[in-house]
A and B are shown apart, each in its own frame.
Chain A
């Protein structure tokens, strides 16, 4: 059973470009979470999604950031018009309904030049 997959593992963008981060949850998992980790800091919750629904986006910046988890395919975290402050590691986690555990992907390290 493959774990949570994230791609790309590393992403470099110039200021003003768009970044698309993908997350494929573990098989059978219908809940996906996105977190951001700035250097030397812990993980900050961004958004919690179920298939075709955003359950909680209280941690998402109001502008430029969006997330989706379609019926088919991976969950996508989209950052428009990236700025240097968006440079961070973005982690996705999945769980099978309300669960005692979240399984984390390896993360995508975004660098904005």
Chain B
């Protein structure tokens, strides 16, 4: 069964605007972690933000914030004030209690000047 679903294969956003990348997950574990990674065209995987399943507040890291809705099992990434350098693939991932990581299929974000 697919654990992580990213329904947006491609997204466009105007420079300086905010954009939301969707992610839903499926798990029966009581404790889990949710992650977002950025993969630019150079290919490396860059950690962006983490949300624990018991965290009360939504995670924020600079221009990145994670809109965590536990009941809906969603963990959307919000990028504020988009920059040209934000153009990349973005992957949502989940870590279960067995310390396995599951990745979504990714969303390709293009920032338009």
When distances are taken between beta carbons in the complex, the residues of chain A under 8 Å from B33 are 100
- Does B41 make an interface contact (CB < 8 A)? no
B3 (CB) vs chain A CBs: closest residue: A45
Check B91–A106 contact: CB distance below 8 A: no
The minimal Cβ–Cβ distance linking A96 to chain B, given in whole angstroms, is 12
Check A41–B98 contact: CB distance below 8 A: no
When distances are taken between beta carbons in the complex, the residues of chain A under 8 Å from B102 are 45
Given A42-B91, A48-B100, A100–B52 Cβ distance below 8 Å? yes
Check B103–A44 contact: CB distance below 8 A: yes
In-complex Cβ contact of A101 among B4, B50, B100 (8 A): B50
Please report the C-alpha to C-alpha distance between residue A58 and residue B100 in the assembled complex, in whole angstroms: 10
When distances are taken between beta carbons in the complex, the residues of chain A under 8 Å from B44 are 104, 106-107
When distances are taken between beta carbons in the complex, the residues of chain B under 8 Å from A91 are 45
Most buried by A among B35, B52, B101, B104: B101
- Does B80 make an interface contact (CB < 8 A)? no
A residues contacting the other copy or chain, number (CB 8 A): 24
Apart from A42-B6, A107-B45, 20 more pairs, CB < 8 Å: A31-B99, A42-B4, A42-B103, A43-B45, A43-B101, A45-B102, A55-B99, A56-B98, A93-B101, A100-B33, A100-B52, A101-B35, A101-B50, A102-B35, A102-B101, A103-B47, A104-B45, A104-B47, A106-B43, A109-B43
Some 19 contacts from A to B, beta carbons below 8 A apart, are A41-B105, A42-B6, A42-B104, A42-B105, A42-B106, A43-B103, A45-B102, A48-B100, A56-B98, A56-B100, A93-B45, A93-B101, A98-B99, A100-B95, A102-B35, A104-B45, A104-B47, A107-B45, A109-B43
Which residues of B are in contact with A by a Cβ distance under 8 Å? 4, 6, 33, 35, 37, 43-47, 50, 52, 91, 93, 95, 98-106
